[in-house]
Structure formats: C-alpha cells, structure tokens
C-alpha cells in the first residue's frame, strides 16, 4: 500500500494539547473539506470542520480536560480514529480518509416481487480466536417497503451477502436463509468484491426450498407422567431463524422445509424457567426426510457451576469477575473469593459465552498489575473462547488459570530507508490471537506488555482503525513474512528493531 503518511516532529510544548493537521482522500490524496473532527477522551472537547484545503485545528484552550486524540468523520468515508499520546507532537497530523464501499440493491422473491423486511447481512471470512469463520462485517440491514437495502461504510474487500426474511419464512417455511447467488452455503460464485469508493448493486432473489421433513415425538423419561406442558410446546430447529413446529396432543411433531445441515433440535420455550420441560439433540439433515426422532424431555432446574481461580506458577489468586451471556435470558455474574473459589449460580440449559476480568482496585492504582486470564476449562474443554453448554450432564467444575506476570518489551519501527515510522499499529500474534499491540510514536518507538513468554508473529497495520485486517485471512497470508517472528522470554528482553519491507513487497 502506498504510504502517504508524513509526520513532522516538532517540539512546541506550549501547544502540546492543540491538535492540528490535514485530512486527505486516501486514494487520490485530494484534500477533504467539511470533515467533522472532534477530540476524543476529554470533556468539552470542541468540534471543528476541515476547511477547503482539508486543514483543521482543535484548540486546546477550548477543552475542559485534556483529550487523548481525535476522530474524523465525513459522509462517504470510513470514520478514522486516532489517539495521540501527550509526549508526541500534535501538529501536522495527516489523516487519510478511506472512501467507503457501498453495496445496495433490491431483494425479490422467485417471481421478482419485492420482499419487505428482509434481513441482509454482509459477511466475510475472518479469523476469530484462531479459527476461520464467516462473520458479519457491519450491522445487518432490513429492506424497506420497496424491498431495497443500502449498506455503506464498508472497507474494500470480498464479501458474501446472506439474505433471510423471518416475515416471509413465517408466511411460507420454504423461504429460508440463503446467499445472494441462491446457494445455501457460501461459495466462490457468490463472492462480491468491492473496491474503496465503489458502489455495487446486488439484487438477491429469495428462492423457495422444499428441504426435507424432520418428524418424531416427544418422550418423557421413565416414571414421569405426561402432562399438559409439552402439548403445543415449540420445537426449534437450529437458532431462531426457522419458525418453530408445535408438539401435538399425541406428542408428535413435524418440522417441514429443513435444508441440509447440522441442527440442534430443541423442544421447550426459548427462554426457559425452572420447572419447564426441555429436551434437545443434534440432527444431521441431508437430502432425505428424517422420521422417528425421539426428543426426550425433562423438567429443568437451574444448576450451579463451582470452580477455582489459580495463578500460573502458584501464589495468592486475585479476585476475578465473571460474566455469563446465555443464548437466551438474562446474564449471570459472579466473583471469586480470597481463596479463588467461585460459584456461577442458576444456569438453565443452553449455551453460555463467558467473560472473565480482574477486579479493579479503587481508587485506580496505575502501579498495580492486573491479572490476565490464560485459560478457563471445564471437563478438559476450553470454555473461555468457545463458551460452554448446559445440557443433560452435570457441569463443572471449572478451572481458571491466570497470570500476574507482565513482560514489557520496547521496540522501534523504521521505514525501508531507515526513517522512524509513526502512527502504525504493531501487533503481536500467537495462536491466531492478538496478544499485544502498540501504536508507534515519536522516533518510531513502541512498547507492549506481554503476559506469557513464547514466539510471536508480528504484523504492522497501517493505523489503529484497521484492526479488521487482522481477521482477514488474505491479508494475514500476504504479510506473514513481513517481519521475522520474535521470541519473548521471561524477564528482560532486548529492544525489538523492526524495519518495514520495501513498498513493492507490501500490498
């Protein structure tokens, strides 16, 4: 990528809080007039517009508290956020606004009749926690009464467009989720590639799919008497995308128009309460009907999961906060005690995602190193990144391993000609996850805190607005050898010297 960034280091301590610079179009280099520039992280920070030459000045005097950076917004461009450390010059900031790509069009049914309220998702393959997954890039849009949608603010890239219409599926169960080229699974033919500043028209057509029929009956465990709770209970196939079938008075259920795939078949209300009936099993759907599925239900009661926080290498466990997000219902929270023990209470069947954060001291103490979570396992399985399911088996116990260790490493980023490079984001990746990052500052310096020794791959992103590149498999492949891997050891580490590869080698 052609580099336009030119930082001029000036001292000027008197003007340390004033930010001044120019906004240009990242493709053409032309000044961008009328862009909205506002300070970040302070109070009463003024908002200014760029003049006809793309120039702006945010005066420090107008701000009630110091601000840490600024953001630049202009219709037709992707917003740009920039932090500017106080020890770095805030003058002559050059901001390259990347023109947005737009995908828009009209969703129709098989006869070309517009579909109102269809949900349009823009997806692309991304690395999430080390796995390549098809994930949403922006918030899904709904088509209007004309069947039209418009999704703006996209970076250039290769996208898949997935369309569904809950309203139409509820009307006719054959209208399931599908990609813009009509396929049920993502394939190369369905890729839509857009360049920066480009507008592409994509008119998806929702086709009816007969699919197959999945049928069976609801069965009670031995000793439990059939009661009225299971009659007319909903039977869900997969997530909430397919309208549920209903259990008949004889316990039978029939789900029609199920397309091939692996599904979780579930009977019971989506948001469960204690005492309700629930059962589920996984079914693999191919191109033939599936009959005689037996869904065994049981009365659900909340369960507790106990666990312990331990410190890698031993030591007093820090107090940690736990947050659980269930696939339905309210979140659950807990905290570990002095001995590291904790109990997650009142979990109903379903999937849970989990977040574990250290309890922060009050008032804030910058010198206190907070714990970092290395792993969380239950029954030998990782539950920190993938979450866990509460089903029929007894859950737990959970073990959470944290570290108090912090290895601080400094470094310098130089350009191909040996000049200091500012404003780049240096990211250290291990096992497909970013484990540390830093924006280069005056003289190209950066500093990153690690919690674990080991070998890290290094990527240098154009700026801190482009984190999404780290989840782009194509970008990662193209840049995996830009810098040699670095080995971080416990204790003291030498300064890391990074030199940007020549521009011709960079995409």
Partner 1 sequence: MRPRFLLLFALISCCFAQNSTAALDGQTVNALTGAPVPNVRIRLALNLDDPVFAKSDEDGRFRFENLKLESYTLRVDAPGFLEPDYRNVCITRVDPPKEVIRLTPSAVITGRVTDPDGVPLEGAYLELLAKRHAGMPPGPPWMGNADFAPLKQGATNDKGEYRFAGLKPGTYYVVVNRGHLVNSAWESTYQATYFGGVTDLSSAKPMELAAGQQVRADIRVVRQAGVRVAGRIIKPPGAPSGRASLLYTNLTLVPAGDAMMNPNSAFVIASEDEYEFKAILPGKYTLMALTRDATSDPFGHNQKMLYGLQRPIEVGDRDIDGLDLALAPLRDVPGEVIFREGCPIFLVRIRVVDDSRLAWGRPEVMTNGKFVLTGLTVGRATLNVEAPVVDSVRLGDRDVQKDGLVLPDVASEPLRITIGCMPSGRLQ
Within 13 Å of residue 497, how many CA atoms lie on the same side as its CB?
A: 3
Minimum CB separation of residue 57 from partner 1 in Å reads 16
DSSP alpha helix (H) spans, 357-501: 473-479
Which residue, 145 or 338, has its beta carbon nearer to partner 1? 145
Which CB, 24 or 151, lies closer to partner 1? 151
CB of 362 to partner 1, least distance (A): 5
Please give the backbone phi and psi of residue 129, each rounded to the nearest 5 degrees, phi first.
50, 40
In the bound complex, what is the minimum distance in angstroms from residue 446's beta carbon to partner 1?
A: 26
Give the DSSP letter string of 52-108.
TTSEEEE-GGG-SS---EEEEE-TTB--EEEE--TTS--SSEEEEEPBPEEEEEE-E
Q: How far apart are CA 446 and CA 441, in angstroms?
A: 6
84: number of Cβ within 10 Å: 22
| Distance in angstroms (rounded) separating the CA atoms of residues 297 and 279 | 4
- DSSP bridge pairs for 135: 124
CB closer to partner 1 out of 220 and 246: 246
Rank residues 298 and 319 by Cβ distance to partner 1 and give the closer one: 319
Peptide bond into 279 cis (omega under 30): no
Beta carbon nearer to partner 1, 342 or 483: 342
Tell me phi and psi for residue 205, to 5 degrees.
Answer: -120, 120
Q: How far is the CB of 336 from partner 1 (least distance, A)?
A: 13
CB of 118: closest distance to partner 1 in angstroms? 11
Residues forming the site for partner 1 (CB under 8 A): 34, 36, 43-44, 47, 71, 73-76, 79, 100, 102, 109, 111, 113-116, 144-147, 150, 152-153, 168, 171-172, 246, 254, 256, 321-325, 330-333, 335, 355, 357, 359-360, 362-364
| CB neighbourhood size of 222 (10 A) | 5
Q: Quick one: 334 or 461, whose CB is closer to partner 1?
A: 334
Quote the least distance from Cβ 325 to partner 1, whole Å.
4
What gap in Å lies between CA 258 and CA 461, rounded to an integer? 43
Q: Which is nearer to partner 1, 299 or 482 (CB)?
A: 299
Nearer to partner 1, 44 or 495 (CB): 44
- Exposure of 40 in the CB half-sphere (CA atoms within 13 A): 15
Secondary structure (3-state) at 168: helix
| Residue number with CB closer to partner 1 (5 or 73) | 73
Give the tokens for residue 415: 């350009």
Provide the minimum distance between the beta carbon of 344 and partner 1 in the complex, in angstroms, as a whole number.
12
**CB nearer partner 1, residue 170 or residue 392:** 170
Say if strands 205-206 and 108-109 run parallel, antiparallel, or are unpaired.
parallel
3-state helix, strand, coil in the chain (%, to 5): 5, 45, 45
Residue 228 beta carbon to partner 1: minimum distance, rounded to whole angstroms = 14
**Shortest distance, CB of residue 353 to partner 1, whole angstroms?**
8
Q: How far is the CB of 226 from partner 1 (least distance, A)?
A: 21
Rounded-to-integer distance, Cα 121 and Cα 139, Å: 7
- Residue 476, classed as helix, strand or coil, is helix
Per the omega criterion (within 30 degrees of 0), is the bond before 217 cis? Answer: no
């Amino acid at each position: 990528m052609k580099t336009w960034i030119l930082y001029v280091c000036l001292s000027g301590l008197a003007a340390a809080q004033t930010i001044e610079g120019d906004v240009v179009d990242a493709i053409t280099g032309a000044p961008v007039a009328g862009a909205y520039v506002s300070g970040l992280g302070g109070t009463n920070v003024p908002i200014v517009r760029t003049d006809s030459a793309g120039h702006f000045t945010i005066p420090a005097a107008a701000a009630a508290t110091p601000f840490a950076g600024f953001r630049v917004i202009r219709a037709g461009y992707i917003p740009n956020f920039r932090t500017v450390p106080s020890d770095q010059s805030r003058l002559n900031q050059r901001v390259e606004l990347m023109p947005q790509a737009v995908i828009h069009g009209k969703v129709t049914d098989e006869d070309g009749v517009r579909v109102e309220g269809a949900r349009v998702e823009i997806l692309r393959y991304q690395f999430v926690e080390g796995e390549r997954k098809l994930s949403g890039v922006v918030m899904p849009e709904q088509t209007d009464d004309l069947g039209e949608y418009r999704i703006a603010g996209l970076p250039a890239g290769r996208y898949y467009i997935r369309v569904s219409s809950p309203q139409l599926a509820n009307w006719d169960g054959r209208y399931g989720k599908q990609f813009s080229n009509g396929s049920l699974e993502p394939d190369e033919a369905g890729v839509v590639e857009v360049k920066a500043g480009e507008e592409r028209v994509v008119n998806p057509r929702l086709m009816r799919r007969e699919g197959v029929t999945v049928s069976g009956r609801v069965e009670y465990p031995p000793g439990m008497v059939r009661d009225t709770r299971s009659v007319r209970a909903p039977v869900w196939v997969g997530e909430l995308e397919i309208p549920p079938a209903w259990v008949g008075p004889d316990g039978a259920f029939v789900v029609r128009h199920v397309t091939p795939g692996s599904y979780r078949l579930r009977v019971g209300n989506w948001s469960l309460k204690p005492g309700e009936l629930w059962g589920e099993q996984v079914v693999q759907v191919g191109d033939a009907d599936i009959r005689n599925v037996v869904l065994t239900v049981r009365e659900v009661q909340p369960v507790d999961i106990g666990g312990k926080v331990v410190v890698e290498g031993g030591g007093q466990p820090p107090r940690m906060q736990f947050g659980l997000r269930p696939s339905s219902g309210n979140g659950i929270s807990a905290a570990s005690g002095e001995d590291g023990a904790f109990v997650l209470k009142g979990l109903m069947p379903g999937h849970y995602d989990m977040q574990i954060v250290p309890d922060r001291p009050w008032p804030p103490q910058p010198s206190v190193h907070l714990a970092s979570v290395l792993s969380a396992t239950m029954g030998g399985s990782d539950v920190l990144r993938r979450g866990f399911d509460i089903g029929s088996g007894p859950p737990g116990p959970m073990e959470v391993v944290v570290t108090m260790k912090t290895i601080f490493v400094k470094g310098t980023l130089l350009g191909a000609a040996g000049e200091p490079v500012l404003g780049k984001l240096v990211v250290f990746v291990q096992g497909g996850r970013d484990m540390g990052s830093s924006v280069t500052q005056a003289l190209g310096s950066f500093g990153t805190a690690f919690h674990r020794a080991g070998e890290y791959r290094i990527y240098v992103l154009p700026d801190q607005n482009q984190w999404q590149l780290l989840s782009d498999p194509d970008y990662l492949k193209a840049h995996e050898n830009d810098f040699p891997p670095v080995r971080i050891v416990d204790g003291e580490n030498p300064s890391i010297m990074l030199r940007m590869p020549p521009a011709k080698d960079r995409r």
